[in-house]
Structure 1
Amino acid sequence: MRFENTGLEKFRVDLNKLDEILPKHGLIRAGQWDYERVTYDRKFDIKEGIYYLRVQGYATEGDVGAHDAYIQLMKPILGKYYYPHGVEYGDDEYFPERLVEKCNQILEEVKKDLEPFNEA
């Protein structure tokens, strides 16, 4: 599921600011990066299953591995985890309404916190 109207896809932010701010909202980068891309995940383990809210981006300038990059954010996504295959984002997936509302709230807070650092 894509979150279409967050406005985050218009943000370009220094990687170090993302690494500082997103964990405050439970979005962790951990090992989900390469030299050009990053993914911040927040895991939800609820009775309907395991879900991941993902905020992804790609470097428009610099090198992620060197912690010296500007990241263009993309539309956030929500996916359901299936063992052992991975995360599915399809339109036919079921996403509990309360989870979608919580994710929207988190994304609004993230946008508010990142706005002062938007370089776009």
Structure 2
Amino acid sequence: MKFENTSIETLHMDLNRLDEVMEANSMIRAGQWDYERVTYDHKFQIREGTYYLRVQGYATQGDVGAHDAYIQLMTPILGKHYYPHGVEYGEDEYFPDHLVNQCQQMLEKIYKDLSVFSD
């Protein structure tokens, strides 16, 4: 499921500041990066299953591995995890209303916190 119109996809910022703000909002990058892309996840384990709120971005300049990059963020997505296959993001998936509402609130706060530092 895509979260359209969050304005997060309009943000472009320094990777180090992005890491700080995302961590403060419980979004974890961990090992999910390469030299050109980053992915931040928040894992939800609820009665209906395991879900991931994901915010991705790509480097417009610099190198993610060297912690010296500017990142263009992309449209946030929500997916459901299926063992052992992975995470599915399709519109055919069921996403509980309470989870969607919680994700929207998280994304609003993330946008507010990040927009102060965006280029």
- What TM-score, normalized by structure 1, do the two folds share? 0.98
CA displacement at 1:116 relative to structure 2: 1.2
Q: Which structure 2 residue ranges, 5 or more long, are not aligned?
A: none
**What does residue 70 of structure 1 align with?**
70
Aligned residue in 1 for 2:100: 100
Alpha-carbon distance, 1:24 to partner: 1.2
Q: In 1, distance between residues paired with 2:5 and 2:99?
A: 17
Structure 1 stretches lacking a partner, 5+ long: none
Equivalent in the alignment of 2:34: 34
Runs of 4+ in 1 over 6 A off after TM superposition: none
Match of 1:81 in 2: 81
**Residue of structure 2 equivalent to 1:21:** 21
Mapped to 1, the partners of 2:23 and 2:48 lie a distance apart of 24
SS in 2 for 1:79: strand
Over the aligned positions, Cα root-mean-square deviation in angstroms equals 0.4
Residue matched to 2:10: 10
Looking at structure 2, the residues matched to 13 and 108 of structure 1 have their Cα atoms a distance apart, in angstroms, of 17
What does residue 58 of structure 1 align with? 58
Task: Give me the identity figure in percent.
Answer: 70
Letter in 2 for 1:104: Q
